[in-house]
Structure 1
Amino acid sequence: MTLTETEWNGASPETGYAHWQTGSLKVLGAISFSHFLNDTIQSLIFAIYPLLKNNFALTFVQVGTISLVYQITASLLQPMVGFYTDRHPRPYSLAFGMGCTLCGLLVLAMAWNYDALLIAAAMVGMGSSVFHPESSRVARMASGGKYGFAQSIFQVGGNAGTAMGPLMAAWIIIPCGQHSILWFSFLAMLAIVVLINVGHWYGRRRTYKGGGSKGHQDAKSAFSRRTVTISLLILLALIFSKYFYLASITNYFTFYLMHRFHLPMQQAQYYLFTFLFAVATGTLIGGPIGDRIGRKKVIWLSILGAAPFTLALPYANLTWTGILAFAGGFTLASAFSAILVFAQELIPGKVGTISGLFFGLAFGMAGIGAAVLGKLADMYDIEFVYHICSYLPLLGVLAVFLPDIRLKKGIDD
């Protein structure tokens, strides 16, 4: 699957690119498939909220707290995992993280009270905290210099998995009950097998490249510290905008549709799937376009461009609600790959740390958003939540202040 060190160092650019197209592209496919399995499992938590709310007589605040525990567990640990693995790469940590997710899934299936639900959410969050920064590093290693494309392929696997959650809930869990979640443990086991093989490739690749990443840690940014700091703050604000809005859809869209349009639970799940499918599709497009026209333009157009759709959604009928949710999800989703690669290029040599920070912040914002929006839904109503959140994409105007980063082509560093 990989070249020896001598073959790699002596290869021409054409040979190196051909190598990427064969062996490394397979690894990119494997890590994207693992992301699909991982996020399919994780999205089940959100997709079965109506079932859990009925089974355990939960309030919206309690529903939001489940998300908060999951997201905060993931967000707090991810930067630390990324920081550590920048210095001490652990090729098989991916399989370990998936093992944590498997344990959380088993607890969720057998949960007997609200506290058990929180434990399950924390275990799944722990698995996510290990999986995302290291798998993002593998995607960059297997990119062949096409960093935006590689991150999009990696991300689309996760978003496609997230989109599958509502369908799996509608087809299997809601009709068969909470214990049917046990069937999805086989997905986690399959992912562990795939990730062990990815770990083999990761370990061999480190050996061929000299066994470490110290040279990359010493890399310097092309921008001043002030520019880097301001740019990171802008990117973090955009992450807040994107993931607070996504939290309103992922956690409460089914409740919104059931409340406003009196849809049955299963039909509401199909609308949620439509939105999440749009997110997956938009993610696939954002990275390659960023490679071609520049990531700043993609970030700006993606987040600010979603505003017309989000602003109109609270006033739409059922048909237009579905259309606007699809359009808004598609537009908004194309930003994350561009944001992540933009940040990695701002601070070169810190792939794990940057990936952990941005994935962690994304999870953290989603968790805080779920809890805050749940409180607002209890205090007022679920429609009020969508009126407030509709303004969040307007923060996309901040992207105009980001510096221009010229893409440097080449085989993976």
Structure 2
Amino acid sequence: MHKQSPYLITAAHMVNDSCQSVLPALLPLFIYTYGLSLEQAGFLILANTALSSLLQPLLGYISDKLNQPRLIALGVLLSACSTGMMGIVSSYESLLICATLAGVGSSIFHPEGAKIMNRLGGGKKGKAMGTFAIGGSSGFAFGPLFAGAIAYTIGPQGLSAFTIVGIIMCTILFILMPRIVAYANTLERSIHNTNTDETISMPLRNYWSYFGILFLIILSQSINFRVINAFIPVFWTSQLGASPEQGSFALTVFFSVGIFMTYIGGLLGDKYGPVKIIRFSLLLWLPAMFALPYIPQMPAALIIGYLLLIIIGAAKALSYSPTIVLGQTYLAKSIGFASGITLGVSQTIGGLVAPIVGRLADIYSLPLAMLTLVPFLALGLISALFLKSPKDL
């Protein structure tokens, strides 16, 4: 069972992030059901992300002090139960509460999940984080497809399936977590004794200035990722004339590419260094994001849209694992806190901008509002030029 421990944590990541993917996929349904404006839809994303963004660094800091890996199980349970409740509530206010609690569950899961995966990675932390990221990418890829299929066929109450899966995963994690921690301890002692990993033999130190630069990159990526994630289904239906099912499928395309590229990004980060991979991903992401709002004016707009989504999804996925590993390296004495920022906040803080983009879309248009995301990526690319490779610290 010991060697399968990373895969169990990865599966838990898939369950947790599939719950996080439900809300954007069902925004067209909620807009129709409750008569929401795009600004109100943006506030749903904000409710799902704001408190989570604030909690994850705090919970990561607490994780460094208390070391309670079973919080992983609690995070999955809360996310899954809140997601199931979204299918049976009867008001916009209740939906806001469910979205908030689902975000809190994610904030509990991510810092401790990334921390234990770092320990299970041994001397190949990029590969370990790539494996871990496959779970998140799979959840975001298949969650919208599954949620859309349920909600648009048998009804929103079918979201209770997420709750059932979450309860099963929570039970397994709670029972097996002591064995997983014991295996991680044994692995760390073995690697330390053989002195095969240079980063383990180095004195632990926090490089806050470089971590601050990395945070700017995380912020630029998060704003783009979360807003795109929120409004792709709406963009597909309102601007490209696609059906709601096609809007959910667009999210699946967006995240499916990440299933493979996150793992490849981890391997490339181990081989070439995380800084180079982060810079390359931003160079790939920036022009694709600039072109996306213009596709309604192009022939074969749907095909071009899917191609751009693949490029953006690949760019995001490539930098996923290197960003986490680099953050944990910069803050080697505070891995839980670093994980709360690089893994948790990177997935949530961008939701703070979603209502603003939604408001701009209500006043002007959704394509024009999406163009406001481009300067953030430019800021991230410029910031990446000032990062320092771990081997040069």
Fold shared by both chains (TM-score > 0.5): yes
Aligned to 2:173: 195
1:253 equivalenced with 2:224 (yes/no): no
Aligned to 2:213: 234
Give the direction of change, closer, same or farther, for the CA distance of 1:155–1:265 in structure 2 (3 Å limit). same
2 CA distance for matches of 1:179 and 1:407?
54
Q: Deviations over 1:21-57 (max 9, x none)?
A: xx24x11111111111111122112211111111111
Q: Give the ranges of 4+ consecutive aligned residues of structure 1 lying more than 4 Å apart after TM superposition.
A: 205-210
1 CA distance for matches of 2:389 and 2:46?
35
Identity %: 27
Aligned to 1:78: 56
- Give 1:139's match in structure 2, choosing from 117, 122, 142: 117
Contact preservation (8 Å) 1:27, 1:198? no
Aligned to 1:19: none
- Give 2:354's match in structure 1, choosing from 366, 370, 377: 370
5 Å-filtered alignment, 1:113-124, equals 113-124=91-102
1:105 equivalenced with 2:116 (yes/no): no
Aligned to 2:320: 336
2 CA distance for matches of 1:306 and 1:206?
36
Task: Provide the aligned C-alpha RMSD in A.
Answer: 2.2
Contact preservation (8 Å) 1:82, 1:353? yes
- For residue 352 of structure 1, report the CA deviation from its aligned partner: 0.7
Q: Deviations over 1:173-193 (max 9, x none)?
A: 112222111122221122213
5 Å-filtered alignment, 1:220-231, equals 220-221=204-205, 228-231=207-210
Aligned to 2:192: none
Give the direction of change, closer, same or farther, for the CA distance of 1:184–1:347 in structure 2 (3 Å limit). closer
Contact preservation (8 Å) 1:153, 1:284? yes
Q: Secondary structure of 1:176's match?
A: coil
Contact preservation (8 Å) 1:98, 1:191? yes
Name the amino acid aligned to 2:224.
Answer: Y
Give TM-score scaled by structure 2 length. 0.89
5 Å-filtered alignment, 1:367-406, equals 367-395=351-379, 396-406=381-391
- For residue 109 of structure 1, report the CA deviation from its aligned partner: 2.1
Give the direction of change, closer, same or farther, for the CA distance of 1:407–1:179 in structure 2 (3 Å limit). farther
1:272 equivalenced with 2:251 (yes/no): yes
Aligned to 1:27: 5
Give TM-score scaled by structure 1 length. 0.85
What residue ranges of structure 1 are gaps of 5+ in the alignment? 2-22, 211-215, 409-413
Name the amino acid aligned to 1:337.
Answer: S
2 CA distance for matches of 1:350 and 1:105?
31
Aligned to 1:283: 262
Aligned to 1:213: none
Q: Deviations over 1:2-34 (max 9, x none)?
A: xxxxxxxxxxxxxxxxxxxxx24x111111111
- Give 2:133's match in structure 1, choosing from 137, 150, 155: 155
Q: Deviations over 1:229-272 (max 9, x none)?
A: 33222211111111111123211111112122211111222122
Q: Deviations over 1:59-98 (max 9, x none)?
A: 1111111111111121111111111121111132111222
Q: Secondary structure of 2:87's match?
A: helix
1:58 equivalenced with 2:36 (yes/no): yes
Contact preservation (8 Å) 2:79, 2:103? yes
Contact preservation (8 Å) 1:160, 1:276? yes
Give the direction of change, closer, same or farther, for the CA distance of 1:96–1:248 in structure 2 (3 Å limit). closer
Report the number of matched residues.
375
Aligned to 2:292: 313
- For residue 290 of structure 1, report the CA deviation from its aligned partner: 0.4
